[in-house]
C-alpha cells in the first residue's frame, strides 16, 4: 500500500519537474530567438550605414545641385551611427529610408547616373539591406509576440514569474513607413 | 496571434505526417523487393531476404544521402551566379525571405528553362536548396519573385521538402525495379521458366503489385501534396505580408506558354511551384498541384 502511494508521488514529482524543465527551456529559447533577431537587425543596420559613404562618393559628381538631398542622407546616417536603443535605431533607419527614397527619386533626372554600373549596384544592395531590415523587424516582432503570449497565458505566466521574466517591447513602426515595406524594385 | 498558432500547429502535424508517409514508402519498397523475390524464386523466400533486403536498405540510404544532388542534376540546375544581375537579385530575395522565416540561408540554384517555375529541396531546413528557372527570373518582377520564393521558403519551414524528395526517390527506384522485371521476363524468361514451382495466382498478384507499386507510392504522396501547396501559399503570403505578389506570379505562370518543351525529368514534377508538364486548370486525382485559378482566388481573398 505505502509503496503505491510513494510510487504515485514520485511520478507526480517527476512530471512536475519535466513540465518545469520544458517551460524553462521554451522560455529561454524564445528569449534567445528575440535577441538573435535583434542581432540580425543590428547587422543589417551597420551594413546599410557602411554602404552610404560609397553611395555618396558615386553620386557626388553627378548631383552637384542637390545639396539638400545629400545632406539629409548624411544626417540620417550620422543619427543611425550614434543611435543606442533599438527604438532609436529604428527611428534613425526610417529617416534614412526616407532620405534615400528622395535621393533615388531625384536620381531619375540624371540619365548618366542611372546608367552608372556602380550606382545600380549600390541601389540593389541598399534595397536588399532595406528589405532585410524590414523582414528582420517583422521576425523580431513575431518572436516578441510569441514570447509575450507564452509568458502572459497560463501556465507560462507562473513559470515566467518564477524565472523573473517580463514581457518585451515590440518595435513600433511609424504610420508613414508602414505602407512601404519594400522600396520600388 | 491566431494565425501564428495555426501555422505552428500545421508544422507539427506536417512533421508527424512526414514520418508516417516515409514509413509507408519504406514498407512499400520492402514489399516490392519481396514480390520481386517471389517472382524469381517462388520456392524460397529466404533468398530475397538474404540478398535483396540489404541491397534495398543500402539503396534507400544512398538515395537518401544523395537525394539533393539527384534532384538538382535531374533538373540540370547550376548554382546562381552573383555576377549576373538577375541572379544576384534572386539571391537577395532568398536572403530576405530566409530572414523573414527565421531560417538559415538556403543554397540558391538556377535552372536554364523558358518556363516560369521554382522548387525547393533538401533533407532538412538547415540544409536546403531553392532553385528557380531562368524564365522565372526574366518574366517575373521582383515583387512576384519574392512571392514565389516565400512559397518555397514555406515548404522548407513546413518540412515538406524531405517527403517530396523521398517520394521521388522511392517512386524512381520502384519504377526501375518494375522495368527491369518487365524486360527480364520478356527477354530472359527468368521468372516464367519456373512458374510451375509456385502458385500461379500468387505469381500474377506479385507481378501486378510490382507494376502498380509506383502508382501506390505516388497516390500516397498526392493525398497530402495538394493540401501542402495551399498551406505553402498562405504561409508564403504571411511571410511577405503581401499575397498579391504570389497571386500575380501564379497568374503569369498560367499565361506562360513558351515554345520549347520543358526540360528535366518528369519524376521531379511534384517539387515545383506549378507542375511543369501540365497546363490544364482541371483538378484530377493525379494532379500534384491544386488548380492555379483556385490558388489565385484563395490568395486574393486574404
Question: In terms of pLDDT, which residue wins out, A109 or B191?
Answer: A109
> Does A128 sit within 8 Å of B92, measured CB to CB?
yes
Q: How far is A83 from chain B (nearest CA, A)?
A: 23
In chain B, what residues touch A142 (CB-CB under 8 Å)? 4, 102
Q: How far is A129 from chain B (nearest CA, A)?
A: 8
* Contact yes or no for B257/B157 (Cβ under 8 A): no
Helix ranges (DSSP H) in chain B: 2-40, 46-47, 53-65, 67-74, 85-101, 134-139, 142-157, 161-183, 200-240, 243-254, 292-300
Indicate the average pLDDT of chain A: 85
Cα–Cα distance, A27 to A33 (Å, whole number): 10
Taking the CA atoms of A46, A51, A54 and A60 in sequence, report the sign of the dihedral they define: negative
What the block records as the C-alpha cell of A12 is 507526480
| Percentage of the residues of chain B whose pLDDT score is greater than 70 | 81
B7/A contact by beta carbon, under 8 A: no
Tell me the three state secondary structure of residue B50: helix
Write the pLDDT tens digit of every residue in A108-142. Answer: 888 888 888 888 889 899 999 989 988 988 899 98
Which residue in the list B95, B152, B197, B229 is annotated as catalytic? B152
Q: Hey, what domains does chain A have and what are their CATH numbers?
A: 31-178 (1.20.1440.20)
Find, in chain A, the residue whose alpha carbon is nearest to that of B89.
Answer: A124
CB atoms within 10 A of CB A49: 20
> Does A124 sit within 8 Å of B89, measured CB to CB?
yes
Taking the CA atoms of B98, B104, B105 and B106 in sequence, report the sign of the dihedral they define: negative
> Per-residue pLDDT for B282 more than 50?
no
Q: Mean pLDDT throughout A149-165?
A: 85
Q: How far is A122 from chain B (nearest CA, A)?
A: 12
The partner residue sitting opposite B4, judged by closest CB among A124, A145, A185, is A145
Write the pLDDT tens digit of every residue in A74-99. Answer: 899 998 888 888 788 888 888 898 88
* Contact yes or no for B65/B71 (Cβ under 8 A): no
Domain ranges (residues) in chain B: 2-72+160-300
Cα–Cα distance, A78 to A101 (Å, whole number): 17
Complex ipTM? 0.77
* Contact yes or no for A45/A133 (Cβ under 8 A): yes
The answer to whether residue B87 is catalytic is no
Amino acid at each position: 500500500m505505502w509503496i503505491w502511494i510513494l510510487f504515485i508521488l514520485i511520478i507526480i514529482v517527476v512530471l512536475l519537474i519535466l513540465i518545469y524543465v520544458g517551460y524553462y527551456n521554451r522560455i529561454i529559447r524564445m528569449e534567445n530567438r528575440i535577441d538573435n533577431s535583434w542581432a540580425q537587425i543590428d547587422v543589417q543596420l551597420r551594413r546599410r550605414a557602411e554602404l552610404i559613404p560609397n553611395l555618396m562618393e558615386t553620386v557626388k559628381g553627378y548631383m552637384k545641385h542637390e545639396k539638400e538631398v545629400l545632406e539629409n542622407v548624411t544626417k540620417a546616417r550620422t543619427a543611425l551611427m550614434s543611435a543606442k536603443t533599438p527604438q532609436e535605431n529604428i527611428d534613425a533607419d526610417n529617416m534614412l529610408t526616407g532620405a534615400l527614397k528622395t535621393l533615388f527619386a531625384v536620381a531619375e533626372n540624371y540619365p548618366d547616373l542611372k546608367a552608372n554600373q556602380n550606382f545600380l549596384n549600390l541601389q540593389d544592395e541598399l534595397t536588399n539591406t532595406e528589405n532585410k531590415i524590414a523582414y528582420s523587424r517583422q521576425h523580431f516582432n513575431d518572436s516578441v509576440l510569441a514570447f509575450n503570449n507564452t509568458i502572459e497565458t497560463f501556465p507560462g505566466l507562473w513559470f515566467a514569474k518564477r524565472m523573473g521574466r517580463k514581457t518585451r517591447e515590440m518595435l513600433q513602426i511609424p504610420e508613414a513607413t508602414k505602407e512601404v515595406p519594400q522600396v520600388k524594385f | 496571434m491566431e494565425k501564428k498558432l495555426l501555422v505552428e500547429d500545421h508544422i507539427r502535424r506536417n512533421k508527424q505526417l512526414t514520418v508516417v508517409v516515409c514509413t509507408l514508402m519504406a514498407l512499400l519498397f520492402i514489399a516490392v523487393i519481396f514480390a520481386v523475390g517471389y517472382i524469381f524464386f517462388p520456392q524460397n523466400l529466404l533468398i530475397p531476404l538474404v540478398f535483396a533486403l540489404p541491397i534495398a536498405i543500402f539503396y534507400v540510404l544512398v538515395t537518401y544521402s544523395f537525394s539533393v544532388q539527384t534532384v538538382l542534376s535531374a533538373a540540370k540546375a547550376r548554382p546562381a551566379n552573383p555576377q549576373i544581375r538577375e541572379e544576384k537579385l534572386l539571391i537577395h530575395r532568398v536572403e530576405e525571405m530566409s530572414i523573414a522565416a527565421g531560417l538559415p540561408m538556403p543554397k540558391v540554384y538556377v535552372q536554364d528553362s523558358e518556363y516560369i517555375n521554382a522548387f525547393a529541396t533538401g533533407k532538412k531546413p538547415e540544409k536546403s536548396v531553392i532553385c528557380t528557372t531562368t524564365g522565372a527570373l526574366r518574366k517575373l518582377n521582383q515583387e512576384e519573385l519574392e512571392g514565389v520564393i516565400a512559397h518555397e521558403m514555406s515548404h522548407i519551414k513546413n518540412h515538406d521538402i524531405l517527403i517530396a524528395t523521398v517520394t521521388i526517390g522511392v517512386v524512381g527506384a520502384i519504377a526501375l525495379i518494375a522495368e527491369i522485371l518487365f524486360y527480364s521476363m520478356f527477354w530472359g524468361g527468368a521468372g516464367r521458366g519456373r512458374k510451375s514451382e509456385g502458385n500461379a495466382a500468387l505469381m500474377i498478384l506479385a507481378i501486378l503489385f510490382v507494376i502498380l507499386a509506383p502508382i501506390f507510392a505516388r497516390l500516397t504522396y498526392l493525398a497530402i501534396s495538394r493540401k501542402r501547396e495551399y498551406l505553402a501559399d498562405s504561409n508564403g503570403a504571411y511571410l511577405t505580408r503581401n499575397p498579391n505578389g504570389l497571386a500575380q506570379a501564379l497568374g503569369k505562370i498560367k499565361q506562360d506558354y513558351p515554345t520549347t518543351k520543358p526540360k528535366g525529368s518528369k519524376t521531379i514534377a511534384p517539387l515545383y511551384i506549378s507542375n511543369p508538364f501540365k497546363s490544364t486548370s482541371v483538378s484530377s486525382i493525379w494532379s500534384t498541384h491544386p488548380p492555379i485559378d483556385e490558388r489565385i482566388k484563395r490568395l486574393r481573398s486574404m
